[in-house]
Amino acid sequence: MTLCTFAKTWVTVDINASSVGACCRTPHVSIDDNIDINNEWFTTLRDNLHQGIQDERCNSCWQQERTVGTSLRLNGPYTIETDQTDPQSADLQYLEIRLGNQCDGACVYCGGMFSAKQAKFWKLHLDIDKPVVKEPMTDQVKQLIKDNAHSIRQIVFLGGEPTLMESWYTFLDFIVEQEFANLVTVVVTSNCNWTDKIKQRLFRSIDSFLNRGGNFDIRISGEGDKNYFNSIRKFSDYDTVLQNITDLTAHYGNKIKYTLQPVMNGLSVYSLDNWLDVFSTIFKSADIHRVNLNFAMLTRPEEFLTIHQGTRALPSLHRLANYLRDTDLFDPKQRMIDVVESQIALITQQPNGKADSDLEQLLSAHDRILPHKWSSTNALP
């Protein structure tokens, strides 16, 4: 049995870089013309995983499991059953499309490949060029969708901020015109920091998509209470986001699906339960009683200490786990509790002295990029 079904069922296309990968974590290969998900790069990866070989292209997951106790392959999107006897062929179910880095925000843990504002900073101060893509390569991706209409179950759009990009609205119109073998869900990941103009256009597009039989899921990124949110999510506004989500749920109710994807790191853990509780109130006021929850984990080595910053985070993590146990709004409930408990278990195994000093250095590095008020570990609860 394969170590990871995503190698058969998941493909990520990065329009910004003209590249494709087996998932959002594997290295990508350049696209010359057509997107071939059955070329040698993909088939050798699938074959290795099928044989139980830890292919180095999947090092991100092996490292993630060593550092935070979970990984994308263990905690990723659900997929249906797929033929494990033929590792060579893809059974594309989950297509992830990165549209570019146009974004109105600049979160401190983000970078120029995902934020135009960060890209401008990188170019000015670090001489790293991550330009904003103005005319993405959509034809190859559209052909990939057509060629796999028999198996695709979910198409996810990432940015940047997709709702700011013309290409996303074009894709939305294109998808509903296809003859899929199964009901396909379109997912858009958004910071929901919409202006009134963007919100009006977004709602018109979703309305049209739903009227033509589409199945829609909005994935809401964010985390923390107002103090944390406005400090970390530069150029985004907590109150604006809450109002936009209130308007969204009032307009659509249960006609669309909702996913919360908070980033779990060593700063956000102090108020993640607060963030979930505020959104719970909004959802329940609109008579919405089932919301998907998926923690995004920062797990690169330099981010490890922001997750495991010593025992000071334990009370907050226990509070978060208890909050999840006491609510029936979020799904998959037990899986998310398991993620939090894995953090608790690992933190209790960490020596605290060096973690504190390394965390101080990491926060100082954040301050040099985009200053925020968490300038010292002493500012933390």
Concatenating the DSSP letter of every residue in 31-44 gives -SSS--TTSHHHHH
pLDDT given at position 191: 94
- What are the distances in angstroms from CA 9 to CA 6, 37, 126, 181, 367? 5, 10, 37, 16, 40
pTM over 0.85: no
Dump pLDDT digits (tens) for 39-58. Answer: 888 888 888 877 778 888 88
CATH number of 6-108+135-379: 3.20.20
The β-bridge relationship of strands 19-21 and 10-14 is antiparallel
298 band by pLDDT with thresholds 50, 70 and 90: low
Determine the Cα–Cα distance for residues 265 and 67; give it in Å rounded to an integer. Answer: 13
> H helices within 212-332, ranges in order?
226-232, 238-252, 272-285, 304-307, 314-326
Higher pLDDT, 52 or 298: 52
Confidence band for 372, pLDDT divided at 50, 70 and 90: very low
Mean pLDDT of the chain: 79
C-alpha–C-alpha distance, residues 84 and 1, integer Å = 7
Cα–Cα distance for residue pair 325/321, rounded to 1 Å: 6
Q: In this model, does residue 4 exceed pLDDT 80?
A: no
Per-residue pLDDT at 136 exceeds 80: no
Least confident of 5-9, 32-36, 42-46, 284-288: 5-9
| pLDDT digit string, tens, across residues 142-188 | 999 999 998 899 999 998 899 999 989 999 999 988 888 678 999 99
Out of 4-13, 240-249, 350-359, give the one with best mean pLDDT.
240-249
Q: Is 189 helix (H, G, I), strand (E, B) or coil?
A: strand
pLDDT digits (tens, 9 = 90+) for 49-96: 777 788 888 877 777 676 666 677 776 655 556 555 565 566 788 899
How far, rounded to the nearest angstrom, does the alpha carbon of residue 208 sit from its chain's CA centroid?
Answer: 25
